[in-house]
Amino acid sequence: MSLYYETATILENPDKIGGSFKARIFKKKDLKSKPGQIYALVAEASKWSRVLKDVIEKCGVLEEERKLTPILALLLTHDLLLSKSGVAAHKDHVLRLAITRHKARLSAEFTKARIRHGFPTLEAFREAINAGDLDSDDSEEGEKSRHPRWVRVNTIKSSLKEQLQSTFKGYEKVESIGEILTARGSRKIYCEDPNIPNLLALPSRIDLGKTPSYTKGDIIFQDKASCFPAYLLGLLEQDGDVIDGCAAPGNKTTHAAAIVSTQDPGGERKVIAFERDKGRTEILKKMVKLAGADQIVTVKGASDFIAAKPNSPDYENVGAILLDPSCSGTGIVGRDDAIKLHLPSSSTESTKAQGAGSRKNKKRKRGADKADDKPTAAESKEEMTLNLDETTAEEVPLDAADKLTERLTALSTFQLHILTHAMRFQNARKITYSTCSIHFEENEGVVFQALATSVAKERGWRVLRREEQVEGLRKWGRRGQWEDGKLSGSVVDEKSKGGVLEGCIRCDKGTEEGTMGFFVAAFVRDGESKVVAREGDEMEEDVRKPAAPTEEQDGDEEEDWDGFSDDGKVAELKAKADEVIEKKPQAAPEPEKKRKNKKRRTGKQ
């Protein structure tokens, strides 16, 4: 199957596979084309689609070429007119022939379009398209779907001041995230985030991926919400070492390391990063190195945090734990969220589009030129805008609602298990628990259940109240939400319920705040604890028995590792994670090498 048939099939998604477009590409097992090539083709074609749709329609290509669907016509015209290497198919390939037949007319219409838009050269036209200057999605929805490019300055290697004077020199400072969200194209503006220190919001079209500061790890692409957990820990010098229990790809690990490094110039404190998955461990290591955090972070690669012994001397200095476990990922906003494909339509009723790239079509391609199939739903639309990123929850069709419930139960059971495990660490006084899920079951539901466990009660864990939180998050308005009928009455203490919900923090996607959907709560414990965690404690005293999730998606932070980003290799990772089926708990790791306790935290027993 050619690149074009394969791409069209994934776009059409006849099997209704969930997940973002990127994830769908990486999920597909039998691709002949490179996933990166498919993604690049769609990303590029989408930028030009508003122009090309018009060009194709003016030339009447769909009326004449019965082999071409709107998607195929768009992809092929893009490559014919705009790709340096032209149409990526053999010169006798049926699709290549179908489009090159119209080359002269298509080129002429394209030139007219360029002139109509006021660009003297193709280069100028290209620049404007890349900058998004021709986008005219002025609707409220359009604004909502935009997402800032969030940039965290990595204070291990640089400073905000330094970055403003170098990478962002010449950028204009604006006062609200709203201005960033509504900025046209790649206007050079930035907003200093009012909640998270050293975080900047920029218009999404600004391409910083090739800047030296990005490739050197001086700046990190990290969604605002994803910066909440490390910041909410409110780390202090006396908190000692920090564990990140679910670390890869490592955005929160390096954020925690950056905070620790400012408090501990002597380099005594450590961030211990657990990552169960082998492949993701490699990404974590790369990320830690690039961030210059390798002196601070000890990576426990291919290690299950649940198998780590809370009373081990290795963790004696651990005062804080960051837990960002696998979740449904339903809060994720893909960077390709705003990518839209404007498809050409045929002006005559007689054009019967053939299913692009499906087996059926392949047969047709080889043989008969029958064009009497009904157009697919997508093809029959006069003008179709494809939103390429679909996050799973909203996409779950009604008949799959049961599956969602099952999946949420499995995930939340695992999340509760890992959270209560963290509560056992002998000297831990602070924990943040976060997910990039929008579901109560994985969020407030887990918090209330954790509070009801005997380990939480015995050790004095409670939710950090809003008024105790670091300033930037105290003033964050979106707080925990209650959903009736999701938890049994015995789990929830009615008296403290309101305070707990107020202590929980939520971020919603598609708001004027420009974040992904996210949840975080901090747990703290005060005073002396009567019960020290028993090694190998089982969960029989907990509200629910632990069970490994049957399916999980490793949400946060995206996708194909192409550097230092929330956005990078993570589509691939998410696709992989979708397949993760925890059939049995991993074997305990080799005995931990005893680390010399340089700094025993005597006051915290």
Ligand X SMILES: C[S@@+](CC[C@H](N)C(=O)[O-])C[C@H]1O[C@@H](n2cnc3c(N)ncnc32)[C@H](O)[C@@H]1O
Of positions 26, 150, 274, 448, contacts ligand X by CB under 6 A: 274
The CB-of-4 to ligand X minimum distance in angstroms stands at 34
198 to each of 154, 155, 224, how far by Cα in Å?
8, 8, 11
Strand order across the 172-173 sheet: 172-173, 189-192, 199-202, 149-153, 219-221
Does 441 sit near ligand X (CB under 6 A)?
A: no
Between 58 and 286, CB nearer to ligand X: 286
Of positions 325, 331, 344, 445, contacts ligand X by CB under 6 A: 325
Does 572 sit near ligand X (CB under 6 A)?
A: no
Exposure class string for 566-586: b at 16+ Cβ within 10 A, else e:
bbbbbbbbbbbbbebebeeee
Does 248 sit near ligand X (CB under 6 A)?
A: yes
The CB-of-575 to ligand X minimum distance in angstroms stands at 13
Between 205 and 252, CB nearer to ligand X: 252
Report the phi/psi class of residue 486: left, alpha or beta, with left for phi > 0 and alpha for psi in -120 to 50: alpha
Does 412 sit near ligand X (CB under 6 A)?
A: no
The CB-of-519 to ligand X minimum distance in angstroms stands at 12
Stretch that binds ligand X, among 139-147, 249-257, 362-370, 514-522 (CB under 6 A): 249-257
The CB-of-568 to ligand X minimum distance in angstroms stands at 11
Of positions 12, 275, 442, 572, contacts ligand X by CB under 6 A: 275
Between 377 and 587, CB nearer to ligand X: 587
Does 324 sit near ligand X (CB under 6 A)?
A: yes
Stretch that binds ligand X, among 22-30, 120-128, 271-279, 353-361 (CB under 6 A): 271-279
Calpha distance 112→123 (Å, rounded): 15
Does 569 sit near ligand X (CB under 6 A)?
A: no
Calpha distance 62→70 (Å, rounded): 7
The CB-of-340 to ligand X minimum distance in angstroms stands at 28
Q: What is the DSSP letter of 467?
A: G
Pairing of strands 385-387, 430-435: unpaired
Output the residue with the shortest Cβ distance to ligand X.
246
Calpha distance 422→245 (Å, rounded): 8
What the block records as the tokens of 320 is 């804080």
Residue 149: which of 192, 180, 118 has the closest Cα? 180
Calpha distance 538→455 (Å, rounded): 10
What backbone torsions phi and psi does residue 399 show, to the nearest 5 degrees? Answer: -70, -10
The CB-of-167 to ligand X minimum distance in angstroms stands at 22
Does 427 sit near ligand X (CB under 6 A)?
A: no
One-character DSSP codes across 394-440: HH--GGGHHHHHHHHHHHHHHHHHHHHHHTT-TT--EEEEEES---G
What the block records as the tokens of 539 is 């969960």
Name the active-site residue from 59, 227, 436, 507.
436
Between 78 and 417, CB nearer to ligand X: 417
Whether 327 is a known active-site residue: answer no
Between 95 and 248, CB nearer to ligand X: 248
CA-based R_g, the chain, Å: 26
Give the dihedral of Cα atoms 133, 138, 143, 145; nearest 10 deg.
-80
Q: Which of residues 526-565 bind ligand X (CB under 6 A)?
A: 554-557
Of positions 252, 269, 509, 576, contacts ligand X by CB under 6 A: 252
What is the CB neighbour count within 10 angstroms for residue 32? 9
Does 246 sit near ligand X (CB under 6 A)?
A: yes
Between 98 and 246, CB nearer to ligand X: 246
The CB-of-17 to ligand X minimum distance in angstroms stands at 21
Between 72 and 577, CB nearer to ligand X: 577
The CB-of-422 to ligand X minimum distance in angstroms stands at 11
| Residues marked as catalytic | 436
Q: Which residues bind ligand X (CB under 6 A)?
A: 226, 245-252, 274-277, 280, 304-306, 324-326, 418, 554-557
